[in-house]
Amino acid sequence: MSVFTKIFGKKKKEFKAFCEISKEPVEKGYGYLLTTSQVISSHVYWDNIMTEPETMAYTIKHFKENDSTATQIRKMLFDKFSNIDKPWIISDTYINWFNVDKTKARLAADNWWLNEGNFEPEDSGKAGDFLASQQLQELMRYAVLEAGRDKVA
């Protein structure tokens, strides 16, 4: 390697990751890798998504005013998140929102880090491709019609 290459050569950009929930950085070697099906199967996830500052107004209108537009927006949120086709890196802070095998999710994250994000666990993809239709409908019903009720009532 010449002196010029050492000085002016392109450095490989360091692979970084951010928690799909908080958008905060996840340090290399940490976190858990979940599929979209695993994420959207969590009632805790939906309770938090539907009561974030950006969505709380729709949740209030849905429950207190029976506003059909607010309900439709909640449905659009469900559709948006359930149709994500890549795995989700989740920080240690949020993993308890999900009823998953943490050891398996950590091992998947290890493979994901090793391959700089180019690893997908089994059943990765849109939730509708892996969940039974009835199960997906039940999750949608909860997310759209019930999630966040206890924070509004």
Residue 12, pLDDT > 80, answer no
Whether residue 1 is predicted with pLDDT greater than 70 in this model: the reply is no
Q: Give the residue extent of every domain in the chain.
A: 17-152
Residue 63 has pLDDT above 60, yes or no: yes
Query: Can you tell me the distance from the alpha carbon of 28 to that of 7, in angstroms, rounded to the nearest whole number?
Result: 26
SS3 assignment, position 137: helix
**Using one digit for the tens of pLDDT, what is the confidence trace for 92-109?**
999 999 999 999 999 999
What's the CA angle centered on 29, arms 24 and 31, to 5 degrees? Answer: 50
Percent of the chain exceeding pLDDT 70 equals: 92
pLDDT, position 129: 97
Give this prediction's pTM.
0.89
Q: Average pLDDT of the chain?
A: 93
Tens digits of per-residue pLDDT, 108-151? 999 999 999 999 999 999 999 999 999 999 999 999 999 999 99
